[in-house]
Structure 1
Amino acid sequence: MSEEISDTPTNLTLPKTQATLTLRIIKSFEFRTEKSLVLHNVNLEETTVGQLKELARQAVHTQPGWKPYRNVQLDTMKLYTKAHGAKTSNLIINLDHDEWLLSDDSRILADLGFENETEVSFFNRELYEQFKVHPETKWENAQS
């Protein structure tokens, strides 16, 4: 019995009503402390930015393994990359493209171009703005 290999890109393998999203929950920009939260079966045609934020906050506060992240005031999301899209050299967030900030909580994810395997960073906006002014990582300096 042979399995067929599909030529369909992974971002098109699931309908927009059953998408898988990866959220990079960021605790510290300087130390690159982040943990990925994978959400399955997200309906991109009905879910808003605000609802996605609430899903992520609920997971951080209720799922095991997230205790170190529970004291972070998560308030801002920013598109990191779409499936098969170019990725930034920064491993947890792209510091350019501030137009990718998801600032309107009422926007529907599909209307913002979300598709299966979209990756988003979720973080504290104040800490992000501070890091943009001085984008130095501390763990690199400690290793030199």
Structure 2
Amino acid sequence: MSSPLTNATPGAGATLTVRIIKSFEFRTERSLVLHAVDLGATTVGALKEMAREAVSTQPGWKAYRNIQLDTLKLYTKAHGAKTTNLIINLDHDDWIFEDDSKTLLECGFENETEVSFFNRELYEQFKAHPETRWEG
């Protein structure tokens, strides 16, 4: 009898949530849930392409298609603490995945890992002035 995938035994059946961020200031993001991701075979670069492909082809993503998505950063792992900032964790720049050739497993991904996918330039601007705005 096979056991279900747990966070301690990552494999080919991992579920990941990619938080596609359109605007830091307006806290505009939408989650893309990917199922059956092979953490040992999928690279950071491949995950970026999977997310870009979904945004460019799946219905409901039209408002996100004009964003140049280029950076992945860890948001949280299953059962881990979440940031108090609702759009992105501004600390821990060491959680940015810089090497597109590393596998997700090498980067410490587990089942139910949640990452943010965004434009690095917009992130740096928001980090310098982390103010949120609301339409009114």
Pick from 13, 20, 31: which aligns with 2:26?
A: 31
Q: CA deviation at 1:19?
A: 0.2
SS in 1 for 2:33: strand
Q: Does 1:74 align with 2:72?
A: no
Q: Is residue 125 of structure 2 the alignment partner of residue 94 of structure 1?
A: no
C-alpha root-mean-square deviation of aligned residues, in Å?
1.9
Instruction: Give the Cα separation in 2 of the matches to 1:58 and 1:17.
Output: 20
TM-score under structure 1 length normalisation: 0.88
The structural deviation recorded for 1:91 is: 1.4
1:20: Cα distance to partner?
Answer: 0.2
Identical-pair percentage: 74
Secondary structure of the structure 1 residue equivalent to 2:7: helix
Counterpart position of 1:55 = 50
Check whether the contact 2:19–2:32 (CA below 8 A) recurs between aligned residues: yes
Q: Give unpaired runs (5+ residues) of structure 1.
A: 1-7
1:24 partner SS: strand
Match of 1:46 among 36, 41, 48: 41
Is residue 103 from structure 1 mapped to residue 102 from structure 2 by the alignment? no
Question: What TM-score, normalized to structure 2?
Answer: 0.93
| Structure 1 residue ranges (4+ consecutive) displaced by more than 3 angstroms after TM superposition | none
Tell me if the contact between 2:16 and 2:33 (Cα under 8 Å) persists in the aligned partners.
yes
Q: Distance in 1 between matches of 2:117 and 2:45?
A: 12
In structure 1, the residue matched to 2:7 is 11
Shift of 1:83: 0.2
Shift of 1:11: 2.8
Report the residue type matching 2:39 in the other structure.
Answer: L
